[in-house]
Amino acid sequence: MVQREFDIAVVGGGHAGVEAAYIAAQFDLSVAIITDPSVVISSTPCNPAIGGVGKGQVVREIDALGGLMGKLADLSAIQCRTLNESKGYAVQSTRFQVDKEAYSKNAIDQLSEIDSIRLVSARVVKVNRLKTAGFLLELDDNSDLQVKSLILATGTFSRGITHLGDLVDSGGRFADFSSPSLGQLFPEVKLKTVRFKTGTPPRVASPGVDLKGAIEQKSDSSSLNFHYAHNPSDRFMGQVSCYKLETNSRTLDIIRDNRERSPLFNGQIEGIGPRYCPSIEDKAYRYPEKNIHNVFLEPEGIDGKTFYPNGLSTSLPAEVQRDFISSISGLAQAKIAHYGYAVEYDVIETTQLKPTLEHKDVAALFFAGQINGTSGYEEAAGQGIVAGINAALKVLGRPEFTVDRVRSYIGVMIDDLVTAAKDEPYRLFTARAENRLFIREDNVINRIGPCRLRLELDLPVDNYIKGFLEQYELLFGCIKSYQLSVTRDKGLISSYKIVGNCDGLRLSEAIRQSDLDIIPFLAGFFLSKGIEVARPVVRALAISIKYEGYIKRSERAKGRLEQLGVKKINWQILIEAENISFECKQRIQREKPQTFLQLQRINGIRPATLAYVAGLL
């Protein structure tokens, strides 16, 4: 029997696993990524897009921590957009449509450049805890692998079952294999699991798709790349468009007529699906009066062979899928390349984890990604990097690493995961953050850079962060103190409309004026002074100054409510309390809130209950 030793093993080569391995290797540790030979590294089995509202911030946070996702997304981008562009900088997010094959290939290329990462094509059969420390992994190729830290990032494969109409098959993805249950993998460790489900739409082959009536969404050349070292507007692949279509009453009628054949609604699927990414069946049955739903046709690759029809996730039988797809104007003649399906899988109860994503009772065992009940590539990668860093720090005997929820979406997500059990797949969005005015894309280096520097790795990204922060601090002070002068700054003042008397007006005050295009304005200012400033620094400066006052106001607005929000509550006591209504108790039991804020956010909790609980604090 062959036995090999690694510092860290990562089980699963998806977005969480790859990110974990990539960062761990930066600590000069040996890392094995163990994946089934049939599974593609960094595949995008669902929507071929990276980023989105809240998620774009996560990709930039990963990048600032020295991660890989931003780089891969830039290299593979075929359509770029800035979401919420007109709604203010705080909620703007970047979203790149990627070429699926290129994304995966780029990932393999990046990983193979790193000597200390080894790809192991095998399945893990059993995990034994070693008496000393670490784990012994038994693989299906009859080899053993001894590691000090172990990261499980097996996605939807744990006891995965796919549903396509009444076609039920075991597998983490369609026509794929399924991993054994965690209980089988870890006979010695008791892991609490829950059953979740998610789904994906049918893919449409492009021949036969008629785009004449569709609304075209072109790639936006002004969207900014994710990776710090890339020129913000460089594109590495050709750019294509997405198209917006609509469902109609016939589409919805077909779906409604086949309600009994939907595994989601006839009881075949027991797992709980994501409320925030509903299947078309969900939409059809929950909103019987609504027949028009958006469908975004997103190309899956630069070759344009297939489209991902975003909004049509389904597990209905194949012929029903064919019927409702062809009912959509523009898709009448379209062929289906792959059918949509739903997958049910085991996830662990994340309240068993520490904020480092290490298991509370099993040292050096980490969990990341969809196995933790999240949905989305970015969420997975965000956990992967935190788990990877901590797995490495564990091996090195260094202190734990966490990111705060007040400064990052990664922090928000992990805090949400480890403090309250989830009963549906967890997706990030801006409402989950208390201070979204601060957790923006533009200031990611300010927010996350210092966290990265704490790792003391001294790689190119660290130099970039140091340079950025240095320049930022210096110029921030200048902008605060500089007063415009009608004579000295004549050119600048005449090119931008500044309200009121400009003479003596502080530059920071001018930036706060609402209708000023602040980024070109500030760039123009620096240019007029002959100071050369990198674009991302100008952007971060301008937006930070604009929001400074609002952030303070927002903190004041929350005031005592916020102070109360962070207080811990004991939900077990609440469900025993005599003074809380049965209905509220049910909801508390389901959501298991750990803080007052979480309790407040539960739908249907009565003010009287909140007042009662607040009174106990």
Q: Where along the sequence are the contacts to another protein (CB under 8 A)?
A: 53-54, 83-84, 86-91, 276, 294, 296, 311, 429-431, 436-437, 514, 550, 553-554, 557-561, 564, 578-580, 600, 606-612, 614-615
Is the CB of 175 or the CB of 431 nearer to another protein? 431
Is the CB of 329 or the CB of 554 nearer to another protein? 554
Least spacing, CB of residue 510 vs another protein, in Å: 17
Tokens describing residue 163: 């549903």
Is the CB of 294 or the CB of 495 nearer to another protein? 294
d(CA 557, CA 560): 9
Is the CB of 26 or the CB of 247 nearer to another protein? 247
Least spacing, CB of residue 224 vs another protein, in Å: 19
145: three-class secondary structure by DSSP:
strand
Half-sphere exposure of 179 (CA within 13 A, CB side): 31
Q: Check: CB of residue 385 under 8 Å from CB of residue 23.
A: yes
Is the CB of 237 or the CB of 610 nearer to another protein? 610
Strands 3-11 and 31-35: parallel
267: three-class secondary structure by DSSP:
coil
Is the CB of 486 or the CB of 617 nearer to another protein? 617
Least spacing, CB of residue 422 vs another protein, in Å: 17
Write phi, then psi, for 451 (nearest 5 degrees): -65, -45
Residues with Cβ within 8 Å of residue 375, at least 6 apart in sequence: 198, 274, 277, 425, 426, 427
Is the CB of 557 or the CB of 566 nearer to another protein? 557
Is the CB of 88 or the CB of 183 nearer to another protein? 88
d(CA 487, CA 480): 20
Cα–chain center distance at 26 = 22
Q: What is the dihedral of CA 42, 45, 47, 52, to 10 degrees?
A: -30
Is the CB of 229 or the CB of 431 nearer to another protein? 431
Only one residue has tokens 């070292």, namely 229
Is the CB of 290 or the CB of 590 nearer to another protein? 290
CA distances from 98 to 22, 74, 240, 300, 301 (A): 20, 8, 10, 7, 7
Least spacing, CB of residue 614 vs another protein, in Å: 5
CA distances from 606 to 351, 588, 599, 613 (A): 25, 11, 10, 11
d(CA 40, CA 101): 10
Least spacing, CB of residue 400 vs another protein, in Å: 31
d(CA 156, CA 348): 11
Is the CB of 104 or the CB of 430 nearer to another protein? 430
Handedness of CA 183, 185, 190, 196 (dihedral sign): negative
CA distances from 323 to 168, 318, 319 (A): 21, 9, 6
Tokens describing residue 376: 């989305």
Least spacing, CB of residue 432 vs another protein, in Å: 9
Handedness of CA 251, 252, 253, 258 (dihedral sign): positive
Write phi, then psi, for 498 (nearest 5 degrees): -110, 130
Only one residue has tokens 């965690």, namely 182
Least spacing, CB of residue 442 vs another protein, in Å: 13
Is the CB of 429 or the CB of 526 nearer to another protein? 429
Least spacing, CB of residue 296 vs another protein, in Å: 8
Count CB-CB contacts under 10 A for residue 203: 19
575: three-class secondary structure by DSSP:
coil
Residue 128: in which H helix or E strand, if any? strand 124-129
Is the CB of 39 or the CB of 437 nearer to another protein? 437
Residues with Cβ within 8 Å of residue 209, at least 6 apart in sequence: 297, 307, 330, 331, 333, 334
Only one residue has tokens 């480890």, namely 418
What phi-psi label fits residue 198: left (phi over 0), alpha (psi between -120 and 50 degrees) or beta?
beta
Is the CB of 277 or the CB of 538 nearer to another protein? 277
Least spacing, CB of residue 606 vs another protein, in Å: 7
